[in-house]
Structures are given as C-alpha cells and as structure tokens.
Amino acid sequence: MLTTMFRRAAAPTALALSAVLAPAATAGADETPADSLRTVPIPDSVRGPKFPSFTPDGERLVFTGTPQGSTRSEIMTIRENGTGLTCLTCGLDTGSDDDLSQPLVFPDGRRMVVNSGIPGGGTLVLECEKKISKCRDPEVVPLNFPEPGEGHVLQKGREVRIAPDGKHVAFTQIRTTSTGEPGYLANVGTLRRAENSYEIDDARVVSAKGEAKSFTHDGRSLVVSEYVDTPEAANPDVFLFDLATGHKTRLTYANDYDEDLQFAPDGERYVVGSGRDSDIFATLSQLTRPNFIGPGLQPVFTTLFNQRRERPDLLEPWLVRSGSEEKGDLGEPLAPGATDGGWDSRMKNHWSPDSTKVAFWQQNMTDAAESRMVIADVSDRPSEPLPARTTPDPDWAAPLKDYVPETFSPAESRPGHASGSVTIEEHPHPDDPELTTLKVTYDDFSDDGKSVINGTEQADHTAGGVVGTVHYTAGLTMSGAHEGTLTADLHADPGAGDGHEPEPGAAKLEGSVVSEVDGHRLRLP
C-alpha cells in the first residue's frame, strides 16, 4: 500500500511519457499479482547465483555463479526450471583470475558482454558461433573504452548497456570536474569490432549528472539515473533522453531514491530499483522544495547509499505502469515482505522478451555469501516487443574525448514564482578553511502558490562532492496546502571503499533529521 506521502508525487515538468513510449494499457484480469515470486532452482554444485538475465529467445537465463571448489565466479546458463545448467566460461582463459559477472546478451543471441573484476575493472565480450544456449567454446574479446584525451578519468567504463540494434552501446564513465570532484557521465557510442578487440567510436556525453541504465526497446532513447542537480532537494530521480533530439523527460517522481530502471519490451510498464515507501531519503525530501541546497547534501546521499546493506529497502524492485508516476500512482513492490524474511533484492532487473516476467536476485541479509535468483510473474498475457529501430547517433551531445565535467554550483537567489524569495549564500567557512558553507534562506517562498516555506537550511561541506563530508543543519516550516517542518543537525561521512560493496559501518550518520508533513513524521538515522 502506498502512503499518502507517495501519492503526493511532484508535479510533472516535462513532456508526458506517453509521447515517447507506447500508450499505457488498462490493467486487466490477465495480469498476475506482483507478489508472485518463484525461486530458480540451482544445483548444489553452484554457489552464489547472481545477475540473471533472459536470452533474447527467452529460453534460458544467463547468470553469474561460482562452481564448488572454484574461487572465480563464472558465466552460466540455465532454464527457469533449473535444468540444463551450462558453464560458458569454466576453464576459459580470460586473461586474469578476476570474477566474471553481470552478463548481458546481445540482440543477435550469439554475443555477451560481461564484467571482469569489480564494476569498472574491465569489460569483455564473449563470442559464440551459435546462440548462447548452444555455445561451447566462446572467444574472449576485450571491450576497450575510448581514450579520454585531456580529461582525467577515475573509472573508464561501467554500466555497459547494448542498444536493440546491436550497434550502439551506453556506458558510464567517472571523470574529475575542473575542481577535482568525481563526475558521472552517461555516454552513447558506436560499437566496432576490430581485429582483436571491440572499440567504441564517437562516444557522446548524453548526461553529466549520473549513470546510463538502459535503452528503450525501440532503441530511440536512453534511461539515465541522475544524482546531482535534480529538480527537488534530496530526491535523485530517473530521466529519459531522446537520442535524436536530446529532449529530456522525467520518469520517476517518488520522494525517495530511484535508480536502475528497465522498461518492459512492449513499453507498457517498467521496473525500477527504488526506496519508495522506505522513508529513507524521504526524511529529507518530503518537505518538497527546489534543489537549492543540492551541492551541500550530496555527501548525505552517498552516505545513505553506502549504508544500503544496513538499509535493504533502499533499492527494492517496483513495478510501475508507464506514464502513471506523473499522475501520482507509483506502482507496487515486486518482492513485498522480502526484507522481513531476510532477503535483500538486488539490481539489476531484467524482463523476459514477452514482457510477462522479471528476473532479479536476492542476497541473504545475515550471510552475504548466500544468494538466490527469483522470477516475478507479472502477466499472463505475452505481448510483442516494440519494433527495434536503428539507434540515433546523439550528435547534439558533446564528444566524450577531452570532456571535463563542470562542478555544479548553487543556484542564484531569486523571487518565488508565486510569492516571497529565497536567498542563497556560499562562502568559505569562517573557522575551517577546508569547509565551504552553503546557506539557503526561505522568506514566504512559494513556487506553486499553494505551499509556503520559511526558514533556513545550511551545509558546511568539504570538497569532493558525492565523496565529501558535511554538517547539515535545518529549521524549515511549510504552511498552506501542506503543513510541515524539517529540523536537522546531522554529520554525514560516506566512508572509504570503491562504492560497489561498502564495508558495514564505514558510512556514518551522526545527529538527526526529523521531518513531518501533514502528520507523516520521519526521522534519520
């Protein structure tokens, strides 16, 4: 059941989703409840099954698993009923002993992209003479990310996604901004098979605010999770970029963390990894306001994300009908009660080709080495996918080569669109030269003419953006259509690590944030 808070989704500010995807169909009796989960049976000879995805013909799952007696995770295939287990990479020389993970099959059904090592550590393409399900001796070919030119790269490539045309790829690269902070770049380029490698040509920066997550199934648009400079304070969201024009459409509106989003092949629904209904980020965001404090709150976001093993509800899969979020309907969970039963649902989520099933994996919350793969049956009615077209080259976007991300600066002081004003001040901290103070003062401020905000919020933060630290204080009140308060005295430190699997307890929140809107009271930590 969605709470009142989530029914108050932010008002849409972009082109309606129905203009870029298939029209939403009316839910009918042919749809299966979203809590219809089944576990994929895995032989005892395999440990730690993870990252399932369907082959293009829907006959098998490809996944990551570790054979008993081995230390390397391998790429395997299996049928949904647990029969026909095949290890594609066992005994295969990949050039290192690094784990292989996160397999994604090309639309031709004969090639597969996999991670080697931790995300960003290396990427390979496995090539088969026949389709994946009959592959016995794949060839291993490295996928090389573009040379940076003058830009300083922290991580060359991660989150590789294959366009439906099989000719374009999306990937995320992390570079430093002009002031030395990490910047996430979502890119699209053309894939080229060279003699001994795959290369990415003419890579373009579609978004400099987050990670590439998926292509729409017609190949015309890219889904991007944006973490900085988002519309509302403390509310990371997911956006859709038309690759032919650059037009940007907002997809998610929940007052909490949203990240990985995958559309069904028929375009009628999507699954999003989300914290909606968890009241984690919502403690800071439910008093809805423009993102004036954004740069100052980034360390809080990273700290909460790095605590995701301690807050397993942060990225649960939710099933949503396309176009419904902008109307306030934020869908239903695919694994309700999973965390109460000791299982943490993990990204990524993958649809079957006929749009009837979603595959993902879950980790045991008390034994991180134990995992299982599950399938959610979400419809009894198979449907045809959207026709795949050639993915447009995003010529409107800046070339990745020599690209230096900008450091996102605070917005300027301004009058409210309906009443009052907001005053934004940024200056060195008077007592600590390593800190910058960002202060936002609201004086009868209103953009919508319905709710009015008064008070001050302030962030004393170090350099580093998403990997910095912050002392955040706030005393805000809201009146009018919605009544509420936000008070805070919070220190946030994201902790060390590679950002992939944080050490328990490394990310720390000290102090508290308390908010209440229309009687809905929340508190962090």
pLDDT of residue 21 exceeding 60 = no
Helix (H, G, I), strand (E, B) or coil at 119: coil
Residue 169 lies in a domain: yes
Residue 362: per-residue pLDDT: 96
Q: What is the mean pLDDT of the chain?
A: 89
Residue 28: per-residue pLDDT: 39
Burial (CB count <10 Å: 0-12, 13-18, 19+), residue 32: middle
pLDDT of residue 26 exceeding 80 = no
At residue 19 the predicted structure's pLDDT band, cuts being 50, 70 and 90, is: very low
pLDDT of residue 163 exceeding 80 = yes
Residue 296 is given by DSSP the state H
Residue 20 lies in a domain: no
Q: Are 374 and 40 in contact (CB under 8 A)?
A: yes
Residue 20: per-residue pLDDT: 44
Sole residue written with tokens 């699997």: 501
The 3-state secondary structure of 462-507, one letter per residue = ECCHHHCCEEEEEEEEEEECCCEEEEEEEEEECCCCCCCCCCCCCC
Residue 250 and residue 212 share a domain? yes
- Structural domain of 60: 37-286+316-402
Residue 193 and residue 110 share a domain? yes
Residue 409 lies in a domain: no
Distance from C-alpha of 461 to C-alpha of 334, rounded to nearest angstrom: 37
Residue 427 and residue 367 share a domain? no
Residue 354 is given by DSSP the state T
pLDDT of residue 150 exceeding 80 = yes
Closest CA to 344 of 374, 321, 323: 374
Q: Are 348 and 102 in contact (CB under 8 A)?
A: yes
The 3-state secondary structure of 123-152, one letter per residue = EEEEECCCCHHHCCCCEEEEEECCCCCCCC
At residue 505 the predicted structure's pLDDT band, cuts being 50, 70 and 90, is: confident
pLDDT of residue 25 exceeding 60 = no
Residue 200 and residue 52 share a domain? yes
Region 211-239: what's the mean pLDDT? 94
Closest CA to 221 of 244, 189, 237, 253: 244
Residue 357 and residue 439 share a domain? no
Residue 228: per-residue pLDDT: 86
Residue 463: per-residue pLDDT: 78
pLDDT of residue 522 exceeding 50 = yes
Residue 395 and residue 465 share a domain? no
Summarised one tens digit per residue, pLDDT across range 301-324 is 888 888 888 888 888 999 999 999
Distance from C-alpha of 234 to C-alpha of 297, rounded to nearest angstrom: 7
Summarised one tens digit per residue, pLDDT across range 401-422 is 999 998 888 899 999 999 999 9
Q: How far is CA 64 from CA 104, 142, 214, 522, in A?
A: 11, 19, 20, 38
Residue 517 and residue 371 share a domain? no
Residue 139 lies in a domain: yes
Residue 359 lies in a domain: yes
**Percent of the residues in the chain that have a pLDDT greater than 90, as a whole number:** 71
Which of 402, 422, 440 finishes a domain? 402
Residue 119: per-residue pLDDT: 67
Residue 8: per-residue pLDDT: 34
* Domain containing residue 210: CATH number: 2.120.10.30
Q: Are 487 and 507 in contact (CB under 8 A)?
A: no
Summarised one tens digit per residue, pLDDT across range 377-405 is 999 899 999 998 999 999 999 999 999 99
∠ at Cα 363 (48, 240), nearest 5°? 110
Residue 85 and residue 137 share a domain? yes
Distance from C-alpha of 265 to C-alpha of 260, rounded to nearest angstrom: 16
Residue 314: per-residue pLDDT: 87
Residue 177 lies in a domain: yes
pTM summary value: 0.90
Summarised one tens digit per residue, pLDDT across range 164-208 is 999 999 999 999 988 888 889 999 999 999 999 999 999 999 999
Residue 437 and residue 368 share a domain? no
Residue 166 lies in a domain: yes
Residue 227 and residue 204 share a domain? yes
Residue 479 and residue 367 share a domain? no
Distance from C-alpha of 375 to C-alpha of 360, rounded to nearest angstrom: 7
Distance from C-alpha of 100 to C-alpha of 159, rounded to nearest angstrom: 14
Which of 402, 436, 455 finishes a domain? 402
Residue 8 lies in a domain: no
For the chain, the domain total comes to 2
In what side-by-side order are the strands of the sheet with 508-517?
Answer: 414-415, 419-428, 435-446, 451-462, 470-480, 484-493, 508-517, 520-524
At residue 112 the predicted structure's pLDDT band, cuts being 50, 70 and 90, is: very high
Region 428-455: what's the mean pLDDT? 95
pLDDT of residue 13 exceeding 50 = no
pLDDT of residue 87 exceeding 50 = yes
Neighbours of 419 (CB within 10 A): 15
Residue 199: per-residue pLDDT: 97
Distance from C-alpha of 404 to C-alpha of 387, rounded to nearest angstrom: 36
Residue 33 is given by DSSP the state P
**Percent of the residues in the chain that have a pLDDT greater than 70, as a whole number:** 91
Residue 332 and residue 237 share a domain? yes
42, amino acid identity: I
pLDDT of residue 283 exceeding 80 = yes
Helix, strand, coil percentages (3-state) for the chain, rounded to 5, are 5, 45, 50
Q: Which phi-psi region, left, alpha or beta, contains residue 85 (left: φ > 0; alpha: ψ -120 to 50)?
A: beta
Residue 6: per-residue pLDDT: 29
At residue 516 the predicted structure's pLDDT band, cuts being 50, 70 and 90, is: very high
Which of 380, 402, 424 finishes a domain? 402
Phi, psi for residue 75 in degrees, rounded to 5: -100, 130
Residue 120: per-residue pLDDT: 64
Region 65-90: what's the mean pLDDT? 95
Residue 111: per-residue pLDDT: 96
Residue 42: per-residue pLDDT: 97
